[in-house]
Amino acid sequence: MAFVTYKEKLKGLSQKLIEAQKPIRILNSIRTHPGWEEELKKSGFTELPTGARAHYEGIQLGFNPQEKYLELKLLKKEIESTLGTDDELGQLLQRTCDQYMLVTEMLKNRGRPDFYRFSRELYGSPKDCFAQDRNTISEMSHLLYSILNGITPSLPEVQYPENIPAEQVVATLNERFGPYFAGEKVLAKLSDGIVADAAAGGDKVKIKQGATFSTREVDIYEVHEGWVHVGTTINGRHQPVSDFLSIGPPRCAATQEGLAVIMEIFTFRSNIQRAKQINDRIICIEKAEDGANLLEIIEYLRTEGYEERDCLSNAFRVFRGGTLEGGAPFTKDISYCKGFVENYNFLRSSIRVSRAFVIPFLFVGKLHVEDVPLLYAKHLEGLVAAPKYLPPHFRDLNGLAVWMSFSSFFNRVDLQSVQDHYKKLFDRYL
């Protein structure tokens, strides 16, 4: 028998995993019915759309859930037998198999209450605590709600008119992506098959045909969809051995979305309304977990000042795949804030303990933040290549290191005393 190296074994198993998960498309499989919006409007938002379970059963998955589950289970056993029970990259591949096995179970239960059980296992819940912390995601969202709503009236009003056509957005993004992703193909394109105005799909940023956009939204798409989502996909595909890093199971969602939010904030492209929207989705998920139905979530968003179009799009995000009656939401949208906090803590800790050199490996592919030390160690062994495409803030870590160094001290500051001091000063003159 011909000699087979460890790298060849890992590469072969990586390829098998990539192929096994290829037909699994979560968001496409739980897209909402295009007629539900019209049903809601026709009833004056007094009656829930009907036939949710039948609608989801009518969406072809492109694979047989039972057969795919068995395929992944057998691949998991093959990984263990080929690489050994103690191999750490093998264990990571096995966890990825576990994730996709749970995904097949979740998708098999679309339109049923059990959909939420698997969604919560895969993505978490607002009631969960942050990693290595006792604060819950829900507690953070409630605090952010009061802060963000209090800030809004005190900020100078800035208008971001949505007057840029989709075709121009695609052209602008490709002009910007050209120098950043030198040598890669055009990375932005028009699409009429997406629900959101923009979405990253593999190595492409899809822009909704017929929609119009603001300059601020274009700036956000550049770093959020481009630098992070597309960038990590391409970095994963450039891996000569560990190209399983090009695929993102649900366990990677929080790190990915949190990193994208960090880039929006580090580049000062975010705004209060966007932060409110991201945070309100957490509140909506929590309400839906506690039994609120689609109509009640739409009404909540309406009371928060959203236009009808945004009320509907945000509410549908919460209920896609689950039940419209409440109690079974899709919980993925907690990932943005959850991942932001966990990634930020990782950045602070890495710098505090003099391990800043691992930070760029957040961009090495689709991963969970807890994987970074392992992947860096495997980089030193020649099994994981360094990320090819990095935002400037992560190529030169000096600015980030200074920011996080001061940030580490802020935990010691008595914030309440400082706030009380300045409030008295503000009250005296303003």
pLDDT in tens, 91-138: 999 999 999 999 999 999 999 999 999 999 999 999 999 988 889 999
Top-confidence residue, 184 or 194: 184
Shared-domain flag, residues 366 and 421: no
Phi, psi (5° rounding) for residue 164? -100, 120
Shared-domain flag, residues 259 and 224: yes
Shared-domain flag, residues 258 and 373: yes
**How far apart, in whole angstroms, are the C-alpha atoms of residue 319 and residue 84?**
41
Write the burial class of residue 240 (CB in 10 Å: 0-12 exposed, 13-18 middle, 19+ buried).
exposed
Confidence of residue 1 (pLDDT cuts 50, 70, 90): low
* Residue 165 bridge partners (DSSP): 212
DSSP character string of 302-369: HHTT--HHHHHHHHHHHHTTS-TTSS----GGGHHHHHHHHHHHHHHHHHHTT-GGGGGGGGSSS--G
Shared-domain flag, residues 335 and 202: yes
Question: Cβ distance 334 to 123 under 8 Å?
Answer: yes
Mean pLDDT of the chain: 94
**How far apart, in whole angstroms, are the C-alpha atoms of residue 382 and residue 399?**
29
Selection from 188, 197, 189, 191 nearest residue 217 by Cα? 197
Contacts of 324 (CB under 8 A, 6+ apart): 48, 49, 52, 293, 294
**How far apart, in whole angstroms, are the C-alpha atoms of residue 305 and residue 188?**
32
For 71-101, what is each residue's pLDDT tens digit? 999 999 999 999 999 999 999 999 999 999 9
Q: Per the domain annotation, does 236 fall within a domain? A: yes
Q: What is the pLDDT of residue 224?
A: 96
CA angle 326, 332, 334 (to 5 degrees): 90
Shared-domain flag, residues 383 and 406: no
Encode 16-48: b = buried (16+ Cβ within 10 Å), e = exposed: bbeebbeebebbebbbbbeebbeebeeeebeeb
Q: Per the domain annotation, does 185 fall within a domain? A: yes
Please state, as a whole number, how many other Cβ atoms lie within 10 Å of the Cβ of residue 339: 23
Q: How many domains does the chain have?
A: 2
Q: Per the domain annotation, does 181 fall within a domain? A: yes
Q: What is the pLDDT of residue 160?
A: 86
Please state, as a whole number, how many other Cβ atoms lie within 10 Å of the Cβ of residue 266: 17
Q: Per the domain annotation, does 57 fall within a domain? A: no
With a cut of 80, say whether residue 195 has pLDDT above it.
Answer: no
For 357-366, what is each residue's pLDDT tens digit? 999 999 999 9
For 157-193, what is each residue's pLDDT tens digit? 788 889 999 999 999 999 999 999 998 887 899 988 6
Q: Per the domain annotation, does 334 fall within a domain? A: yes
Amino acid identity at 258: G
Q: Per the domain annotation, does 23 fall within a domain? A: no
Shared-domain flag, residues 429 and 361: no
**How far apart, in whole angstroms, are the C-alpha atoms of residue 314 and residue 288?**
13
Within 13 Å, how many C-alpha atoms sit on residue 282's CB side?
Answer: 26
What percentage of the chain carries pLDDT values higher than 90?
A: 86
Shared-domain flag, residues 218 and 241: yes
Confidence of residue 196 (pLDDT cuts 50, 70, 90): confident
Shared-domain flag, residues 197 and 234: yes
Shared-domain flag, residues 409 and 306: no
Q: Per the domain annotation, does 62 fall within a domain? A: no
Contacts of 46 (CB under 8 A, 6+ apart): 295
Shared-domain flag, residues 383 and 403: no
**Long-range contacts of 273-279, Cβ-Cβ distance < 8 Å, separation of 24 or more:** 274/220, 275/144, 275/148, 276/148, 276/149, 276/152, 276/304, 277/310, 277/314, 278/333, 278/336, 278/337, 279/141, 279/144, 279/145, 279/148, 279/337
Confidence of residue 301 (pLDDT cuts 50, 70, 90): very high
Amino acid identity at 70: L
Shared-domain flag, residues 377 and 401: no
Q: Which two tokens stand for residue 411?
A: 């935990």
Question: Cβ distance 261 to 275 under 8 Å?
Answer: no
Arithmetic mean of pLDDT, 217-245: 97
Q: Per the domain annotation, does 73 fall within a domain? A: no
Shared-domain flag, residues 378 and 401: no
For residue 427, the enclosing domain spans 397-430
Element (H, E) at 205: strand 204-208
Please state, as a whole number, how many other Cβ atoms lie within 10 Å of the Cβ of residue 379: 17
Selection from 122, 137, 30, 21 nearest residue 75 by Cα? 21
Element (H, E) at 425: helix 415-429
For 391-421, what is each residue's pLDDT tens digit? 999 999 999 999 999 988 888 888 899 999 9
